[in-house]
Structure 1
Amino acid sequence: MFEQYLVNPKGFRNVRKDDQVTGYEVQLRIPYYRGLPMSCVEVIDLTVDGETVANEDMAITVKGETFSFAELPTAINHRWEMIETITVFVKKPGGLTEGEHKVHAFVSLRISYLPFNNVGDDEKVLVLET
């Protein structure tokens, strides 16, 4: 139900540092009706234009704090709320070309009172912000 909102159409942009494009950012919304600690995020799979992003190349920012994907199990005090986005920075020297890109995201969340994970799967064509 909420998976259709997983890929946020806003905030898709290249990231510059010292006049160099170091990668790009994608905004994601939680595919669940409640907020959860980031430690409950078990999977974030991201594919852009058919290219799968390695978890090692991601940095996830929630409420101003940034974590590697491997650090998420320790982020017990950082919640991903229903109405908020998280920022996934993807390390890619040179970033993405201007124009449209197909962004596919899959997220799996561990819910303490459910015997199965809640998943979200969404794909959108986004235009890179300049």
Structure 2
Amino acid sequence: MTLEASVIKDDAVRSTPSGYEVDVRIAWYRSLPIACLENLSVSINEQQFTADQISIRVNDILIPVNKAGELLDEWWFTQDPITAILPTSSPLSSGETATVNVSLATRIPYIIIGPDTALVQRTDVSKEVTIQ
């Protein structure tokens, strides 16, 4: 299994009264601080959720994804997902099938590619899932 294949598991998407929760796993072989998450966008059946709409829950902390850079002491462990909270007034129902696309931009702080510039790994994953 590739690192990209593990980003979205079969049971990663849950319908909630206020939208969706999507468990997203890191596409890297080592744990990284949450602050390394530079961008996250998700679409479900072409309904796009951008970083300014998404909050993430990690280690019992709920924060807008645009503020993830502030979480220097919280870690995204390889075995644990972060949960993306996606607000919508019309989520699909549990049991329905959907195409989920996740785009991640993750800074790898120990791979330096230029003066004061770390590598940013960009990962795009698409998967058919059943809404939980």
Instruction: State whether TM-score is above 0.5.
Output: yes
- Over aligned residue pairs, what C-alpha RMSD do you find? 1.3
1:125 aligns with 2:123: no
| 1:120 Cα deviation from its structure 2 partner | 2.1
- Structure 1 CA distance for aligned equivalents of residues 12 and 120 of structure 2: 27
- Identify which of 37, 48, 53 aligns with 1:52: 48
Contact map agreement 1:6 1:121 (CA 8 A) in 2: no
- Structure 1 CA distance for aligned equivalents of residues 78 and 15 of structure 2: 25
Q: Which runs of 4+ in 1 moved over 6 A?
A: none
SS at match of 1:87: strand
| 1:71 Cα deviation from its structure 2 partner | 1.2
Residue 53 of structure 1 aligns with an amino acid whose one-letter code is: F
**Alignment length (residue pairs):** 124
- Structure 2 CA distance for aligned equivalents of residues 53 and 102 of structure 1: 14
Contact map agreement 2:40 2:50 (CA 8 A) in 1: no
Contact map agreement 2:39 2:66 (CA 8 A) in 1: no
Contact map agreement 1:5 1:122 (CA 8 A) in 2: no
Contact map agreement 2:39 2:51 (CA 8 A) in 1: no
Q: Deviations over 1:97-121 (max 9, x none)?
A: 4410000111111111222212222
Structure 1: where are the runs of 5+ without partners? 16-20
- Structure 2 CA distance for aligned equivalents of residues 106 and 54 of structure 1: 10
Aligned ranges for residues 24-35 of structure 1 at < 5 Å?
24-35=20-31
1:72 aligns with 2:68: yes
Contact map agreement 1:4 1:121 (CA 8 A) in 2: no
| 1:59 Cα deviation from its structure 2 partner | 1.2
Q: Which position in structure 1 is the counterpart of 2:116?
A: none
- Structure 2 CA distance for aligned equivalents of residues 29 and 72 of structure 1: 15
Contact map agreement 1:6 1:120 (CA 8 A) in 2: no
Structure 2: where are the runs of 5+ without partners? 114-118
- Identity among equivalent positions (%) equals 21
Q: Which position in structure 1 is the counterpart of 2:3?
A: 2
